[in-house]
Chains A and B, each alone.
Chain A
Amino acid sequence: MFKNFWPKIVIALGVVGPGLIAGAANNDAGGISTYAYAGSRFGYLLLWVLTLNVITLFVTQSVGARLGIYTGKGLSALIRENFGVRATVLALLTLFIANTAVSASEMAGIASSFEIFGVSKFITVPIFAVLIWWILYKGSFKKVERFFLLISLFFVVYVFAAVMAQPDWAEVGRALTVPHFSFGSAYLVAFLGIMGTTVTPWGQFFIQSYIVDKGVSPKYFKIEKWEVFLSAFFTCLIAAMIIITTKNVLYDNGIVVDSAKSAALSLRPILGNWAEFLFGFGFFCASLLGAFILPLTTSYTICEALGFEYGMNRTWKEAPWFYGLMAVIIGIASVIVLLPFLSLFHIMVSAQVVNAILLPVILVFVALLMNKTKKLGLPEPSKFQKFWYNLVTWEAVVRLSLVSLLLLVVSIFPNAGDHIINWAKDILF
């Protein structure tokens, strides 16, 4: 009996492990801040968005994995080869803006983890900007990558924190399944933030090139799908736990998170006096990981699509665009973070909103590509699968576009929400 048992366990762990790590790593500093803000400001009101997100994230990521496995090409290459130069420039510009925003959020994460201990951002940001670029340039990043990944597992602590807070699980269950909507601009911002930090443009590019780099063969698509599912599940699980924790520890006591320091408060019940230190350290590592990965993958993607030389084994002279773009992204991100009139916390949350607003552009490309089965040599999916993939992807496109538009309207006409409600009532009743 045990003969068959152990290999299965090993395979299961082999799939759960990367899924868990990817899930934890998806929740970077910007993510944690956004969830903490949402939970402390609106309690459970946004939990239902996470339920939708699990589905959206799982479907979009497995479509990405599918494209990667069967074509052996990255997303940007597929866009270039199928939709031409203009579409490619549009997609890359979108990616560039979104990723620079996230890079700024990671830089802000690094700065705010140091601010917990009273070190000014004017000292940390320049130092880390130079350090990050130097390490990327030297190509020695791969060695430390795993270490940071492991540290970012720290935020699994929220699972325990949430349980310790003894929430009313029935209420949580209801909040996860029953949609709630409001037209306040703060609610819309938090709504978009949560969407934009789980389903991201860079995540969509990343999954595909990750699969291509790994050289996964079509045989293993099923396993890969499980990995994608688990990573989506863990991402949203940890997000839900952060919201549950902050609701019970902060929202119920009338504290709204507005900095990393106040977000750390949510871990006081479980970690006591160590809360700030450990939170700060975890926050720092998660941010640093992202601060490395984002400039690197962005530059990689752009160079691949436009045909510039790229790769860590190239020198500055051989691949000036590759290293130059990384420097530009790190530079812009640092300047944004150093602007004196923006708070670090605002940068982190707004970056996620920017992501959410830009995401539909990328998702439309993904949706168009996944339907080009014949041209790309993908196996024909079953009718149900096809319907399901299209439904989920286009639903996300519509949802994001509508809410973004709404946010725009509401920020220009603050009373627009009331008008819409009254208008809807007039029609319905």
Chain B
Amino acid sequence: MMYFSGILKSDVTDASEKVVGRLKDILIKSQDGEYAPLEFLVIAGKGGGLFYIPYGETEHISKSGVVLRRVWDKLERVTERPTGCLSLVDDIYDQQIMDINGARVVRANDLRFAVVDDKMRVVGIDVSVRGLFRRLGLLWLDVFHLLKTNLIDWRDASPVRGTLKIGALASNFHRLHPADMADIIEDLHLKRGSKLVGYLDPRSAAKVLEEMDEETQKKFLKSFDPGRIRQILDNMSTDEVVDLIQSFSKSDAAVYLSFLGDERHQAVKKLLAHDDDTAGGLMTVDYIPVSLDLTVAQAMEEVRKFSARFRSILYIYGINTEGVFRGAISLRRLLLAKPEQKLREVIKKQKRLPTLSPDDNLNYICDMMTRYNLFSVAVLDKDHKMLGVVTIDDVMRTMRPRA
């Protein structure tokens, strides 16, 4: 088992068994989904100066030191730093590392090497207390072997430092659920966090932002330029935007409102007028309204059109030309109906559906949704015009704001 801490600063001897310098650093080439091979040894020469020796020149590398294959004078050695390489000391050691499988941020306490496919490679990052003790030369203190090594597979981790590396890392980052991404980004410091969000496409960025609490959302938004803010706000769901804008001061809120497109602006403004814990405040305007004259097939087409933009679609809602609510139909029913049937025939009629008015309070909403086993309810004004829907997710959020 070879660790970086064991060989760093150890003596380097050449083929004539003369000590020629000390190991100062190792350069690697990192590629997605691959254990990084060691490329160059950085050696502080005995007579001064830094030398970059290709890894192929080593005969043997172990705790007792590095032995080179040839005599020092005959070696291929470079005095200029090779490009395109990462330095283990500067870029990896002691830096924050994202553990993509565990969805968390840790620090690299030590690195584990092993031979894979005939090459010496970095295979794991030790993030354990044991690694820390090893670095400090205090492992002998652990008489009862209480400390366990905790290695992260190199392929699951990406260092978070500098532009280039973050770009490479964002491609891995996509694999995570937005909620997990948000957790990681919140753990990073603002600067690196916002850089990382910067590498995501606007839709993913918006999703990640939706998963953060309002304070953090605000901090991140403020660190972006207006164009980026506009993109992200455009991709966030309307009720999230409303929550966000509500948490701003009046003057800030006006600024962020102005970033929204006209249609969005109107919708948000309407929602802002309602109290937080009433149906009006909780509801979202991201729902699909359709005319009852459409066929089932046409309705499905509508769903396809909106599906990318909305967080969830459980029902579609029938309205007439004045916007008066006429009924709702679940996706399940829609799926089971014949494509050529008219919606009018299959929709659940308005009279048989419980609905909310904007002033209904949270208690009432909860009671009703539980009683009728509803996943979402339409909110109507006094003329039965449809204003929005309250989904079960909106209600859950009020009970567990941090989740």
Residues of A within 8 A of B (CB): 71-74, 77, 80-81, 84-86, 88-89, 212, 214-215, 217, 305-307, 309, 311, 313
Check: B136 CB closer than 8 A to any chain A CB. Answer: yes
- Besides A84-B93, A307-B109, A307-B127, 6 new A-B residue pairs in contact (Cβ under 8 A), listed by A number: A77-B189, A86-B136, A214-B219, A307-B105, A309-B104, A309-B106
Residues of B within 8 A of A305 (CB): 107
Shortest distance from the beta carbon of A209 to any chain B beta carbon, whole Å: 10
Contact pick for A217, options B97, B106, B107, B222, CB 8 Å? B222
Q: Is the CB of B222 within 8 A of A85?
A: no
> Which chain A residues lie closer than 8 Å to B104 at the CB level?
309
Q: Is the CB of B223 within 8 A of A307?
A: no
Cα distance A80–B95 in the bound complex, in angstroms: 8
Q: Which of B107, B127, B136: most chain A Cβ within 10 A?
A: B107
- Judging by beta carbons under 8 Å apart, are A89 and B402 in contact? no
B127 to chain A, nearest CB (A): 6
CB interface residues, B 186-218, toward A, < 8 Å = 186-187, 189-192
B109 touches A313 (CB 8 A): no
Chain B residues near A217: list those with CB within 8 A.
222-223
Interface residues of B in 70-114 (CB under 8 A from A): 93-97, 104-109
Which of A73, A84, A86, A307 has a CB less than 8 Å from the CB of B189? Answer: A73
B94 touches A85 (CB 8 A): yes
A212 engages B107 (CB within 8 Å): no
Chain A's closest residue to B93 (CB) is: A84
Q: Which residue of chain B has its CB nearest to the CB of A303?
A: B107
The verdict on A306 contacting B107 (CB below 8 Å), with A86-B136, A89-B136 known, is: yes
Quick check: A212 and B94 within 8 Å, CB to CB?
no
- List the 5 closest A-B pairs by CB distance, nearest first: A307-B107, A72-B191, A215-B219, A72-B189, A307-B106
Q: How far is the CB of A146 from chain B (nearest CB, A)?
A: 15
Tell whether, in the assembled complex, residue A81 and residue B187 are in contact, meaning their CB atoms are under 8 Å apart.
no
User: Nearest-CB distance from B104 to chain A (Å)?
Assistant: 6
26 A-B pairs within 8 Å (CB atoms) are namely A71-B189, A72-B189, A72-B192, A74-B189, A77-B96, A77-B189, A80-B94, A80-B107, A85-B94, A85-B109, A85-B132, A85-B136, A86-B135, A86-B136, A89-B136, A214-B219, A215-B190, A215-B222, A306-B107, A306-B129, A306-B132, A307-B96, A307-B109, A309-B104, A309-B106, A311-B186
State how many angstroms separate the Cβ of A323 from the closest Cβ of chain B: 16
- B191's contact among A71, A84, A85, A214, by CB below 8 Å, is which? A71
**Cα of A72 to Cα of B195 in the assembled complex, Å:** 12
Q: Are A84 and B219 in contact (CB under 8 A)?
A: no
The winner among A217, A305, A307 for most chain B CB atoms within 10 A is A307
> Nearest chain A CB to B254's CB is how many angstroms away?
15
Q: Once bound together, how far apart are the Cα atoms of A36 and B363, in whole Å?
A: 55
- Contact at A215–B107, with CB atoms within 8 Å? no
B181 to chain A, nearest CB (A): 15
* Whole-angstrom CA separation of A305 from B107 in the bound complex: 8
B354 shortest CB reach to chain A, Å: 36
Are A215 and B94 also in contact (CB < 8 A) when A73-B189, A85-B132, A307-B127 are?
no
Known: A80-B107, A307-B127, A313-B402. A212 touches B189 (CB 8 A): yes
Given A80-B107, A215-B222, A305-B107, does the pair A85, B189 have CB atoms closer than 8 Å? Answer: no
Interface residues in B43-94 (C-beta closer than 8 Å to A): 93-94
* A84 contacts across to B, CB distance below 8 A: 93-94
Interface string of B107-139 (1 = CB under 8 A from A): 111000000000000000001010010011000
Contact surface of B with A, Cβ cutoff 8 Å:
93-97, 104-109, 127, 129, 132, 135-136, 186-187, 189-192, 219, 222-223, 402
Task: Tell me which residues across on chain A come within 8 A of B106, comparing CB atoms.
Answer: 307, 309
B71 → chain A closest CB, angstroms: 33
Instruction: Establish whether residues A311 and B187, one from each chain, have CB atoms under 8 Å apart when the complex forms.
Output: yes
- Nearest CB in chain B to that of A319: its residue: B104
Q: Separation in Å of the A12 CB from the closest CB of chain B?
A: 17
Alpha-carbon separation in the docked complex, A252 to B136 (Å): 55
Taking the closest CB of chain A, its distance from the CB of B273, in whole angstroms, is 27
Minimum C-beta distance from B166 to chain A (A):
14
Contacts of B219 in A (CB 8 A): 214-215
Within 8 Å CB of A311, what residues of B? 186-187
User: How many angstroms between the C-alpha atoms of A88 and B219 in the bound complex?
Assistant: 29
| Residues in B neighbouring A85, C-beta threshold 8 A | 94, 109, 132, 135-136
Specify which of B96, B106, B189 lies most central, judged by the most chain A CB atoms within 10 Å of its CB: B189
Chain B residues with CB under 8 Å of A88's CB are: 94
Q: Is the CB of A215 within 8 A of B95?
A: no
- Tell me the minimal C-beta distance from B198 to chain A in angstroms: 14
Q: Whole-angstrom distance between the alpha carbons of A241 and B104 in the complex?
A: 48
**Closest residue to A312 on the B side, CB-wise?**
B402
Chain A residues, CB < 8 A from B136? 85-86, 89
Measured in the bound complex, the distance between the Cα atoms of B104 and A74 in whole Å is 18
Bound complex: CA of A72 vs CA of B194, how far in Å?
11
CB-defined contacts of A309 to chain B, threshold 8 Å: 104, 106
Max chain B CB contacts within 10 Å: which of A73, A212, A215, A306?
Answer: A215
State in angstroms the CA–CA spacing of A84 and B107 once bound together. Answer: 12
Residues of A within 8 A of B190 (CB): 72, 212, 215
Q: For residue B129, which residues in chain A have a CB less than 8 angstroms away from its CB? A: 306
| CA A217 to CA B186, docked complex, whole Å | 17
Q: Which residue of A lies closest to B108 (CB)?
A: A307
Distance A81 CA – B93 CA, assembled complex (angstroms): 8
A298 vs B362: C-alpha distance when bound (angstroms): 40
Cβ of B370 to closest chain A Cβ, rounded Å: 28
Closest residue of B by beta carbon distance from A214: B219
Name the B residues within 8 Å of A81 (CB-CB): 94-95
Q: What's the minimum C-beta distance from B98 to chain A, rounded to whole angstroms?
A: 12
Residues of chain B with a CB closer than 8 A to A74's CB = 189
Please name all residues of chain B whose beta carbon is closer than 8 Å to the beta carbon of A306 when the two chains form the complex. 107, 109, 129, 132
Are the CB atoms of A215 and B223 closer together than 8 Å?
Answer: yes
Of chain B, the residue at the smallest CB distance from A70 is B191
Q: Which of B94, B96, B108, B132 has the most CB of A within 10 A?
A: B94
Q: How distant is the Cα of A336 from the Cα of B190 in the complex, in angstroms?
A: 38
B142 CB, nearest partner CB in chain A, Å = 16
Distance in Å from the Cβ of A198 to the closest Cβ of chain B? 28
Q: Provide the residues of chain B in CB contact with A215, threshold 8 Å.
A: 190, 219, 222-223
Chain B, Cβ-Cβ closest to A377: B191
- The closest CB in chain A to the CB of B137 belongs to A86
Q: How far is the CB of B260 from chain A (nearest CB, A)?
A: 23
Residues in A neighbouring B97, C-beta threshold 8 A: 307
Whole-angstrom distance between the Cβ of B397 and the nearest chain A Cβ:
15
Residues of chain A lying within 8 A (CB to CB) of residue B402:
313
